[in-house]
Each structure stands twice: as structure tokens, then as C-alpha cells.
Structure 1
Amino acid sequence: MTEPPAPRRVLVVDDDPTVREVVAGYLERAGFTVDHADDGPAALTRAQASPPDLVVLDLMLPGLDGLQVCRRLRAAGPVPVVMLTARGAEEDRITGLEVGADDYVTKPFSPRELVLRVESVLRRTGAPPAAGPRLRGGGLVVDPAARTATGPGGRLALTVREFDLLAHFLRHPGRAFTREELMSAVWGWDFGDLSTVTVHVRRLRHKVERDPARPVLITTVWGVGYRFDGSGGTADTGAAEGEDLP
């Protein structure tokens, strides 16, 4: 008889005990195992001792702030991060996404919404590899099954969302997408702050464009959104003669 999978582990990091208690309660009712930390150093210690499947991370923390913790978590491995930020602090939210957070929720927030965001991120990270051939375009090669991406300079270090966004663009070369369409297709949400899409496109450009300030692969379609303009951006099953595969 097959044993049921172990519950996914979430590390909740917030210096407010009430927030930790409420968030933990909702996550546990949703079937997660929850660990706690009340400052930045404690979060890193707990994450190292028992690596979580996801971290819910407050931006404002004693010891080390959430941005520093997120950077160090990212340096150690690809653990997904959902960041908690103060309402109206748009610059902080954007900075959080730029250092590698997969998503953010603004305070005060609905615990149910937070659980939905956590489940959404974990679905992406824990989804079985997508079937299908490698995707190519603009000198980029994406392998959906292995979840690897390479460019002219070698392997690309992409977050979960950056990988999914690039794969989506490569599957639809030449098509212009609105930010709403990208949020629905890549994030799986029909609601949310569209600056999330803007920031991820910006981060992705820094990793795939020769000159991110003058992008030629992921271009802006004014009044619409974004389009992948790399030549030959179609899927195939084999490499061109002499081409090295990842």
C-alpha cells in the first residue's frame, strides 16, 4: 500500500507572534507542517537545520531584514519565498521580487489569500516535469522536463517564475501578451498586483538580453504588454548540427 506523501513544510518568519500564530493556524488547517522564526538569524538557522518547502518571510525583521534573509536563502538553494510587506510600500515589494521572492502579500492581508498564494507557488515548484520537446529561440534553449535554461553564456540561473515566464514566451513567439494574460498563464491568478509581472520581465531581461536597457528578445508592445521576438522561437526535438545541448 502506497504511503501518503508527507505534508509540505512551511517556515513562517515574522517578529509579530500574533501574525505567526494566525498564519500557522491557517496553513496547518490547509494540511501544511509549520515551523516558526521571529528574526532573520533564527530564520536562516532553522532553514539550514531543516530545509522547508517554502518560506513565508516578513520584510521588516530584527537582526537581518527580509531582503537580506531572502538573498541568503537564495544563495543556499532554490527554496520558494512568499514575502510579507507593508501596504503601500511599493518600492519594498518590488525590491523583494528583485532579490528573488516568488510572490508577496501586503499587510494587512487575508490569511486565506496567503494560503492560496502559498499553494500556488508550491504547485509550480512541485509540479511534475512538463512533457514536450526543448524550446528554442533567440539563442536560448529551455528544457521543460529538466527545468533547465541555457543561453550563449551557458546555464541561466532562473527562479521558478522566471523559468515559467521564459518557457511561456518561447512557446508563443511573436505573440503579444498583456500583463493580465501573463499573470493568468504563468502565475495562475486572475487577480493580483500587475507590477509582479513587470518586475519579473525586468529580471528575466537582465538574464537573457545582451543589453537589458535595449531589449531585443522580450520587447515591450506599447499599450499592450510584452512579446518574445527571438528568431526561431519554436519548439523542436533535436539540436542543430554542432549545437551543444544542456
Structure 2
Amino acid sequence: MNHSVLLIEDDAELSAMLRDYLQEDGFTVGVAGDGERGVAAALSGEWEIAALDVMLPGIDGIEVLRRIRATSELPVLMLTARGDDIDRIVGLELGADDYVSKPCTPRELAARLRAILRRSGERDSAPPVVSAGQLTLYPQTRRALWADTPVLLTAAEFNLLELLVRHAGRPVSKDFLSQQALGRPHAPYDRSIDVHLSNVRRKLGPLPDGRSRIQNVLRQGYQYIPE
């Protein structure tokens, strides 16, 4: 099955190289060279995933992501400068599914895109319902309900929450969460999981006693606390 990816990248030489590699690797590829066109293309419904450069002319990648997330849960992979932790964290807080540091190889980009798409599309073998208390997840349709009210989650957020709910009441390691939800090994100093789960905490709200529903267990990972 061919997947479709939108590259939002202003470097014409780089985008041409990435486009050629991804097309040879089986992707259908579109390119938008600035933020305004990137937003319009991302919201067109034509693409399965977007690879978004942070540094863009006009509106930057962070603003592009903000506008996409205002109306769409399209998976988004951010392309960030190596070592630029602020852009990565802000992007993840706004709902980016993952990031790749530039310069990156086309092979690495393709692998990361496929990992996100695979996690987003693993539906056939998933159980129809996963639940804990008032939270109900429907993996086959990627829907989340809290007491019958929809909870809007990105692909990465849904994957992480589903894993924690399946192991409700037990700690789940960051290594396991990263491999199963993000499709890559957990690296030292990588805060992706922490930021994604911070977003999920905010969307679910606290327990009646004020504690977080998702707790960090020292040296063991994260744990979902069912009511």
C-alpha cells in the first residue's frame, strides 16, 4: 500500500532530494514551500501525514502546526534543528506526533514516517473497546470518550494512552511506551513521551482527589490510575 506524505519545506534542494527518495520508497509525495501553502495543503484531506520544517518563511512551522491542530488530527512529524529542544517541546505540546533532527537522512525520515503511520493504522487486530472507569477507547476508529464526551487526541497521544489503559494500575516503562507507541527506541534526554502525556493529562483532567490520572513512577515509567 502506498502512503501519501506532504513535505512542508522551503529548501528546494532538500525537498527535491527527500521527495525523490520517498517516491522511490513507495510514497506519494506533495511539497509546499511555505507555511501558508502548507496549512492549506495539510487541511485539504489529500494527505495521510505531513513532515513539517520548523524554519519556514512567512509563518513558521510552529504556527503552521497550531493552525493544523485547530481543526485536524493529521499526523505531523516535525523537522527541527539538531539540539533545538525548545522547538521540539513546543511542537510536541501543540500536538506534533514526533520529530526528526536535521540534517537527517531520507532513509531515517521514511522509517519515522512509516512508524507513525503504522501506529496510526493498526486497527484490524485491535480489540473493539479498551476502557477504564469513565474512559473508553475505540482503537479501530481511533476515538476516545470520557463519560460519552469526545476527547481529541493526536495519533501519538492515543497510542500512549491506549497502552497505559491496557496496563491500568501497573507501571509501564518508557522504553516499552516509546517502542510500541512511537515506533522507536527511547533515547536518553528524549522528552517526547513526557510532553505527549502532559497533553493527555490536561485533556483528561485530574482524579476527584486532585491527583493526576497518569502518574510518573520513579525509575519504572508511567501508570494510569483507574477510578
TM-score w.r.t. the length of structure 2 is: 0.90
> Could you tell me how far 1:130 is from its partner in structure 2?
4.0
Task: Indicate the structure (1 or 2) with the bigger Cα radius of gyration.
Answer: 1
Q: Does 1:200 align with 2:190?
A: no
Give the superposition deviation at 1:88: 1.0
Give the structure 2 partner of residue 220 of structure 1: 216
Q: TM (normalized to structure 1)?
A: 0.84
Give 2:50's aligned amino acid.
Answer: V
Paired with 2:102 and 2:161, the residues of 1 have a C-alpha distance of 30
Measured in 2, the distance between the counterparts of 1:169 and 1:158 equals 14
Partner of 2:25: 30
What is the root-mean-square deviation of aligned Cα atoms in Å? Answer: 2.0
The answer for the alignment partner of 2:74 in structure 1 is: 79
CA contact (8 A) 1:183 1:194 kept: no
Q: Which residue of 2 aligns with 1:99?
A: 94
Query: Gaps (5+ residues) in structure 2?
Result: none
Q: In structure 1, the residue corresponding to 2:70 is in which secondary structure?
A: helix
Distance 1:167 1:200 in 2: 13
Tell me if the contact between 1:83 and 1:101 (Cα under 8 Å) persists in the aligned partners: yes
The whole-number CA distance in structure 2 between the counterparts of 1:183 and 1:50 is: 28
Quick one: structure 1 residues 203 and 130, their matched pair in 2 at CA, closer, same or farther if it must change by over 3 Å? Answer: farther
Check whether the contact 1:129–1:144 (CA below 8 A) recurs between aligned residues. no
Tell me how far apart the structure 2 counterparts of residues 190 and 197 of structure 1 sit (CA, whole Å): 12
Partners in 1 of 2:96 and 2:142 — Cα distance? 19
- Give the Cα–Cα distance (whole angstroms) in 2 for the partners of residues 48 and 199 of structure 1: 24
1:181 to 176, 179, 186: 176
Rounded to whole Å, the distance in 2 between the matches of 1:202 and 1:50 is 28
1:162 corresponds in structure 2 to 157
Q: Distance in 2 between matches of 1:169 and 1:191?
A: 16
Question: Quick one: distance in 1 between partners of 2:206 and 2:44?
Answer: 39
Aligned-residue sequence identity (percent) comes to: 38
Alpha-carbon distance in structure 1 between the residues aligned to 2:42 and 2:225? 40
| Secondary structure of 2:172 counterpart | strand
Quickly say closer, same or farther: Cα 1:48–1:171, change in 2 above 3 A: closer
- The 4+ residue runs of structure 1 with deviation greater than 6 A are none
Structure 2 Cα separation of the partners of residues 140 and 207 of structure 1: 12
Unaligned runs of 5+ in 1: 232-246
Verify the 8 A CA contact 2:168 2:226 in the aligned structure 1: yes
Deviations 1:13-41 (A, max 9, x none): 11111210121122111101111111101
Counterpart-to-counterpart distance in 2, 1:47 and 1:164: 22
Displacement of 1:152? 3.6
